[in-house]
Structure 1
Amino acid sequence: MPLVIIAIGVLLLLILIMKFKLNTFVSLIIVSFLVALALGIPVMDVVGSIESGLGGTLGHIGIIFGLGAMLGRLIADSGGAHRIATTLIGKFGAKRVHWAVLFASFICGIALFLEVTIVLLVPIIFSIARELKVSIVKLGLPMVTAALATHAFLPPHPGPTAVSAEYGASVGMVLIYGIIVAIPTCIIAGIWYPKIAQKIVPTAFTREGSESFGVKKEFKLEETPGFGISVFTALFPVILMGFGAIVDMVQPALGFGDNGLVIFIRFIATSSTAMVLSVLFALYTMGLRRKIPMKTLMASCTSAVNALGMLLLIIGGGGALKQVLIDGGVGDYIATLFEGTAMSPILFAWTVAALLRICLGSGTVATLATPGLVIPLLATMPDVNLALVALATGAGSAIASHVNDAGFWMVKESLGMNLKEAFGTYTVLSTIVAVCGLVFTLILDLFV
């Protein structure tokens, strides 16, 4: 009955939040306790499972989220975000600025985790939205589409990289195929779907977003930093992490071992280190270089972090719910459903990853758990394109982001939507990314 228990848990969560107006974090923790008990987790282990899920989620994103918020606020408070927004509007035009957002988010998303991309770009999206007097959601959806697609399809993200190794697929080919699949997927989900969503949940497109990220200062363009240095500062963590990813991809091909330089590059390219260096760099380029006192810069950093408290707790609550589902054996139960299947390996990998994602919440966990169920089937089919199987696994792991996914709460809270609006926009959008990913992978399978 695990799937029934999950369905009842999700329904209860919606009732607590929407009908009884209970705080989202409190609701998540209550449902996590009840679901853990219903799944048969020993009473003495329930608290440990919840703490592990909450701590593991915040341990992964806490540093990144906090420093990313500081970096975004430094760029915004200095006028750098205003400069970027004004320039993009001028280059692309007000009617096509969502294409600029999609393009910029895709470039950032190649090297950055989904949550880092969102944290870095939200202040810039805010500035563009305010300049054009449009809803943050209208521009936020192309951003999260690109971030999700790159996270699901493209190495060096942990899911696609790890699953490529599990299947024995070439990481380089997964990257090439992933880009081919991701581009049309992003256009459909990030450009076309928001036009439909505006009719389904019109109230979402009246939102101004979370005060945690918004900066309401007025700037004269001549008083802001230049476009080049503003973009370079915003992309500095992308550059550092991207450099590390290139080294990881080139090293096996050239056959040289780890040395001091490689180790140093990997150190500065880790997400936490890159964010520390990026904040220090922003303090100089956005502040000290422009004769802004350190006290003023630290006030910006403090205000950015002070506004994140409840948002971080909600994201951690989503991680707690995810962990009790994992510890409750939901993944093992799903494994039994697919014993003895004769399905196409690409479709099978996508289906398993999709079901795991819906039930467990974490796309990365779904991606990493899928090969154990798919590899036995691959052993009977020697001509399968392993890179496409890896890509299908990533596509399935993007489907139907909802209340047990920390990323769902991040998108909902940062764009200032209620639950109904988040379901009608991000949940549907993530499903479109997953389905398009599968369709384009199957089409690609006809030609390669």
Structure 2
Amino acid sequence: MILLTILFCIILLILLVSWIKVNPFVAFLIVSITAGLLLGIPLDKVTKSVQKGLGETLGAISIIICIGAMIGKLVASSGAAQKIAEVLVNGFGIKYIQWALVVAGFIIGIPLFYETGFVLMVPLIFSVVYKYKLHAVYIGLPMLAALSVTHGFLPPHPSPSALVIKFNADMGKTLMYGLILAIPAIVLAGPLFARTLKKIQSNPLKTFMADELPADQLPGAFTSFFTALLPVILIMSTTLYLNINHSNSTVHKLIAFIGDTPIVMLTSLIVATFTLGIKQGKGMKELGGIYSHAVKDVSIILLIVGGSGAFKAVLTDSGANNEIADILKSFHLQPLILGWLIAAIIRISLGSATVAGLTAAGIISTLVLHDPTINPNLMVLAVGAGSLACSHLNDGGFWLFKEYFNLSIKDTLRSWTMMETMVSIIGLIGVLVLNQIV
């Protein structure tokens, strides 16, 4: 009965978002309250459960998402992203232009949210396509594969960051494992797969060609790379130190404090404010405007993440999560495969990778937390990989790619949808391999 209730609630969520077009945050609230009532939570405690789940989730993740958005917005508006792309294209040469764009997409994708990175990098792709008369899909898809992988696998992006918190995983280890998985996923689903797509005819719309900043207004190459990668540098370096040094010294505690993700993000923002803001002639008022717009851009993501927390709280407070975990154990599926499968089904049904990952986490989190044999860091990546599976007509990313590249539905399915599905499957295989090693 409980599984039927949860299935009904997930179907209701899918219908509300994809068919009736209800805002995902509102849909999560409706479904959470409905689930609470159907699962037997007393009337006077349903809204309290929803509020508790919303508050606990946002309290843990809001700093990371908001500051990450601010850094990303500044990287884009300062011209740092443009500089990174230019340096890589010049360094690789025209023969390896595709690989240069892949590296650029990966580096820029770490601090930027997917949609921001897409809109920012597509004009660069088109300018290369027009200048050298190359195939747009062949050149562009690998870069977008890199953006997609960073979005689904790597903190500080919203979904993997939230999953780290939900599964009590380690942010640093998840990032390290995610980087290991990202390389084969990007290479296989990007440049290698794109070789089969040269016959796809694409005439990118010149409407989407953005004006580039003059060279004399761009920040330096070192400043651009260092600022964009600083969150990763800090998280990786402190994690490595803490895994090697297990002492209880003051220095150890200080390094642990510096490596705490909110501190990493705040430190990175302060550095970016100077290197890409004040040093580039921007005043604090202008920077404040950039940061305000950045938070507005991710406000709906924050609410969706909070809504997923409300749904999880209802499952927990009703006791349904423990019963679901017991039922899932009886399926005798490898837990990492089960997490991937649940996320993939929700992604295919609903369209949103973020909603798919967070909903799957709410369903499977109890199993992860109560089974010490499951590596929570790998479960983050398994669910993240599943949330990227089979992007199709109900996903905004599908339409972004179709319209910007001016493709037919058929060609978008055989290029974009196949790429996303390959990333998802390669990610799962990589997780299963890592599970045998770590």
* TM-score between the two structures when normalised by the length of structure 2: 0.69
Corresponding position: 1:257 with 2:248: yes
Q: Which amino acid aligns with 1:400?
A: G
Corresponding position: 1:99 with 2:107: no
Match of 2:129 in 1: none
Of residues 242, 248, 253, the one that matches 1:248 is: 242
Please list, as runs of the form range in 1=range in 2, the aligned pairs for 1:12-411 lying within 5 A after superposition.
Answer: 12-92=12-92, 93=94, 94-97=97-100, 99-101=102-104, 103-104=106-107, 117-119=111-113, 123=116, 125-133=118-126, 139-146=143-150, 148-149=152-153, 158=164, 183-188=183-188, 218-252=212-246, 256-259=247-250, 261-337=251-327, 348-351=334-337, 353-354=339-340, 361=359, 363=361, 366=364, 369-370=367-368, 372-373=370-371, 375=373, 393=379, 396-398=382-384, 400-401=386-387
Corresponding position: 1:435 with 2:435: no
| 1:400 CA displacement | 3.2
Distance 2:196 2:14 in 1: 24
Aligned 8 A contact 1:137 1:415 in 2:
no
Distance 1:438 1:77 in 2: 36
| 1:244 CA displacement | 1.7
SS for the counterpart of 2:387 is coil
| 1:237 CA displacement | 1.9
In structure 1, the gaps of 5 or more residues are 109-116, 165-170, 210-214, 376-385, 404-410
Q: Structure 1 residues 148, 75: closer, same or farther in 2, change over 3 A?
A: closer
Distance 1:47 1:312 in 2: 19
Taking every aligned residue pair, what percent have the same amino acid on both sides? 26
Distance 1:26 1:161 in 2: 25
Offset from partner CA, 1:391-422 (integer Å, 9 cap, x none): 8655644453289xxxxxxx96899699x999
Distance 1:412 1:441 in 2: 31
Q: Which amino acid aligns with 2:314?
A: V
Offset from partner CA, 1:11-37 (integer Å, 9 cap, x none): 222322333232332222212221222
Match of 2:352 in 1: none
Q: Which amino acid aligns with 2:313?
A: Q
| 1:280 CA displacement | 1.6
Q: Structure 1 residues 398, 88: closer, same or farther in 2, change over 3 A?
A: same
Offset from partner CA, 1:244-268 (integer Å, 9 cap, x none): 212211113xxx3221x22222222
Aligned length: 389
Distance 1:18 1:235 in 2: 36
Distance 1:314 1:84 in 2: 32
Distance 1:225 1:84 in 2: 10
Aligned 8 A contact 1:399 1:432 in 2:
yes
Aligned 8 A contact 2:105 2:144 in 1:
no
Aligned 8 A contact 1:244 1:266 in 2:
yes
Distance 1:391 1:58 in 2: 20
Q: Which amino acid aligns with 2:249?
A: D
Q: CA RMSD in A?
A: 4.9
Distance 1:184 1:195 in 2: 16
Q: Which amino acid aligns with 2:370?
A: G
Aligned 8 A contact 1:5 1:38 in 2:
yes
In structure 2, the gaps of 5 or more residues are 127-135, 347-357, 390-394, 403-408
| 1:226 CA displacement | 1.0
Deviates more, 1:306-315 or 1:24-33: 306-315
Q: Structure 1 residues 263, 271: closer, same or farther in 2, change over 3 A?
A: same
Distance 1:438 1:283 in 2: 36
Offset from partner CA, 1:214-246 (integer Å, 9 cap, x none): x96630122201111111011122222222212
Q: Structure 1 residues 372, 313: closer, same or farther in 2, change over 3 A?
A: closer
SS for the counterpart of 1:307 is helix
Q: Which amino acid aligns with 2:336?
A: W
| 1:57 CA displacement | 2.6
Q: Structure 1 residues 417, 249: closer, same or farther in 2, change over 3 A?
A: same
Q: Which amino acid aligns with 1:31?
A: V
Match of 2:4 in 1: 4
Aligned 8 A contact 1:125 1:140 in 2:
yes
Q: Structure 1 residues 258, 296: closer, same or farther in 2, change over 3 A?
A: same
Q: Structure 1 residues 398, 234: closer, same or farther in 2, change over 3 A?
A: closer
